[in-house]
Amino acid sequence: MRSLGVRLAGSAAALIVPLLIAALACGTSAPPQSVGPVPSFTLPPEWTPTGGVPAASVAGWTTFTGNGVELMLPPSYEGGDPTALAQELGDLLDEVPEYASIAEAIRQSPTGYRLLTIDPTNDSIVTVTARDVPAELSMSEYVDAIGAAIVEQVPGTSIIQKGVIPFRDGEASWLLLEFVSGDAVSWQLSYGVRQGAQVWNFNYGAAQEDYPQLQPVFDQSLQTVRFLP
C-alpha cells in the first residue's frame, strides 16, 4: 500500500478528522489506544453508499456555500465558508465541548476547511477539506492509506467499513469510522471525491446513537455536491 505521507498531529488532525478529542488536536499527550465494542447498530452486509447520481436538489433543504464547493443539508444546520464566518463558526463550535479543537483550528487557520456546518439540535457536523493527491494513486489506494493513517495516529479509532463507489464520471472512496473517547462514541462517514489534482473529503459526523437516522441524510447530501469555479 502506498503512503500519502499523512500526519495527523496537532491542529492538522482536526482538519482531516472533525471529531477528534481536544487533547490530541491541541498537541497535548494523547490517551492510550482504546477501541470500543461493536456498536449495537451495524450496517447491513449489502449496504453501500449511493453512487452514480448527478448533482441533485432536495426540496426544503438549505444550500451551504464554501470555498470552491456547495452542498445541501436540512435547514437545522448552520455554517458555510469558514474563511468568511470564522468568528461565527468558532462561537457555534464553542457550545459543544467535543469541538473545542475545531473551534481553535478555525480561528487559527480558517482556510484549512473549505466548508463547515453544524446542527445545534444534535451536534452533528459536516466538514469539507481538500488535499493534493497524485493522479496515479487510485481511490482504492487512497481510502486504504487515509484509513490506515487515521487508525494509527488517532487513539480510539477503528474502521467499520470502507470501499469505492461510482460517482458521476468517476469514483468516490468512502470510509465509516468509529471514534471512542471515554464513554463517548462517535461515527464519521467520509467520502473522498477527486476533482482535478485534489481529493475533496466530505466528512459527516455524529454521536453513534444518532448516526443510524442521520446516515441517509449524509448519503443524500453528497449527491447535492457542486464544485464551484
Winning range, highest mean pLDDT, from 37-41, 62-66, 91-95: 62-66
Checking if the pLDDT of 125 tops 60, the result is yes
Q: pLDDT tier at 62 (50, 70, 90 boundaries)?
A: very high
Q: Which three cell numbers stand for residue 13?
A: 488532525
Place of cell 490517551: 31
pLDDT given for residue 93 in this prediction: 87
Neighbours of 29 (CB within 10 A): 6
pTM of the model: 0.79
Nearest to 175 by CA among 186, 165, 161, 187: 161
Residue 154 and residue 10 in contact, taking contact as beta carbons nearer than 8 Å = no
What the chain holds in terms of domains, given with CATH numbers, is: 10-22+56-227 (3.40.1000.10)
Each residue's pLDDT tens digit, 186-207: 999 999 999 999 999 999 999 9
Q: What are the residues whose beta carbons fall under 8 Å from the beta carbon of 40, sequence distance 6 or more? A: none
- Identify any residues that bridge with 190 across adjacent strands, giving them in sequence order: 175, 203
Mean pLDDT computed over 164-182: 90
